[in-house]
Structures are given as C-alpha cells and as structure tokens.
Amino acid sequence: MKRAYFVTGTDTNVGKTWATLALMTHFKQQNLSVLGMKPVASGCKKVGIKWKNDDALAIQENGSFVVDYKIINPFAYEAPISPHLAGKENPANFDTILANFQTLQNLADVVIVEGAGGWYAPLNEMETIANLAKKLNLPIILVVSIKLGCINHALLTVEAIKNAGLNCVGWLAVCNDTKFDCVDLTIESLKERLEIPLLAIFPYSTEAKRDNVFISEIV
C-alpha cells in the first residue's frame, strides 16, 4: 500500500529537513522504497543555470533512487525570505505541486513531503502551507523545536491542523536550542498536553544525524 506524509513545523528553522531525512531513513530500513519532496524552498543557490536548495538536495540524495530535482522542488527561490515574497515572479502553483507529488507516489512506496516555515506560512499571495496540506490531503507529522514558547506553538499548530480536517499522526521533538536548559520537562509537558504520540526525540547535534534516531512506528 502506498503511504505518504506531510511534515510541518511550529516555525521556520525547527528541524523539518532533519526530521524528513530521518523519516525517509526509517522507512528505507523497513525495505520500502522512499522519495522525498520539498515543493517550495527559499534561500536557494545557483547550480549551473538553476536555483537549488540545500535541504531539497539532501532530500533528493536520500531517496531510494535518483529523481529529477525539478520534481522534488518545483519552486526554488533565491531570496531567504517568505516564499510569497521571494516568488512574486513565479508564484507556487498547487496544480504543479500535486502533479509532481503524484509522479513521486507512482514511483515509490512512501513519499515524505516537507513544508516551508510554519503551518500558516504563505506560499503565494492567496495560499499557505495549510492550504497545500489540505490539497495533498496527507497525514501530518509535526516537528516541534524544544525551546521557550514551544508548548504554546505546538498546541496552536495541532489545533489548527485539526480545524483543517486533517489527521496529525504524531510529533517529533527536535532539541536544537543549546541555551534552553528545560528540555526534558518541556517534552514531558508536551506529552501530557498533546493528544498525539511522540514519535522520536532528536538530541542536539551539529549535523543532521538521521541514522541514530529511533522513530516509533507511525499509524
């Protein structure tokens, strides 16, 4: 049976790509073919004559087999700002994204789609990550950066996902704030308050070490 998940976060720079790569590895370890997708990316660099994003390149590299970059990241913008601002000349088109996703789903057993920014991050003048998630209609996995304020951010995001009529199947705790000294208690507080399972805890690391993170089975 084909499976796919949409990875969103409580904010930008919370570890969504690290989580996406770890999820891809998790499913490959189950002998499933896996591909990833980052439909919209800002902060890209010129590779030859094309703009490419480091996170999307990592997702492409971690796939079970090589797929053309343009399918994985159809909307790549140079400026490291919100996509609706960076992409004014070539705004994200959901029909293109959906067609590319279906191509990937036809090729692999599992597809992991990484969003951009937080749940309500605008992708063009009219639509947000939330709108894209609804268009794809996939189970949601929430990435929570463990830091001051994350309990509020996580609860609000889960409520917004629920209000959108989508199923949040679990959350991932990413410990990426070295100055925050209340990590364990914060994770416990989130476990008590979120009515979805904690799938994994990502300990602080200077690089995205995806092979040593145990992810619980996802329903």
The predicted pLDDT at position 176 comes to 87
What was the pLDDT predicted at 137? 97
Active-site annotation holder among 38, 135, 162, 191 = 38
- What is the reported pTM? 0.94
Rounded CA separation 189/102 (Å): 38
Taking only the tens place, the pLDDT of each residue in 81-90 is 999 999 999 9
Answer whether 38's CB lies under 8 Å from 100's CB: no
State the average pLDDT over residues 22-41.
96
Instruction: Give the pLDDT of residue 215.
Output: 73
Domain 3-202 CATH superfamily: P-loop containing nucleotide triphosphate hydrolases (3.40.50.300)
Task: Return the structure tokens found at 147.
Answer: 């830091």
The DSSP annotation for 115-177 comes to EEEETT-BSSSS-BHHHHHHHHT--EEEEEE-STTHHHHHHHHHHHHHHTT--EEEEEEE---
The whole-number pLDDT of residue 208 equals 54
In which element (H, E) is residue 18 found? helix 16-28
Residue 209 falls in the annotated catalytic set: no
Please give the span between the terminal C-alpha atoms of the chain, in angstroms, as a whole number. Answer: 13
| Tokens 């929430």 -> residue | 142
Q: Tens of pLDDT along 40-81? A: 999 999 998 899 999 999 999 999 999 999 999 999 999 999
- pLDDT at position 1: 82
Q: Higher pLDDT residue, 177 or 131? A: 131
Distance of alpha carbon 201 from alpha carbon 82, whole angstroms: 28
Q: Which tens digits make up the pLDDT trace of 158-212?
A: 999 999 999 999 999 999 888 898 999 999 999 999 999 999 999 876 565 555 5
Two tokens, residue 37: 């997708």
What's residue 48's pLDDT? 85
Lookup result for tokens 């602080």: 204
What confidence tens digit (pLDDT) does each residue in 138-150 have? 999 999 999 999 9
Helix axes 129-136, 94-107, angle to 10 degrees: 50
Q: What is the pLDDT of residue 213?
A: 66
* Alpha carbon distance 1, 4 (integer Å): 10
CB of 160 within 8 A of CB of 120? yes
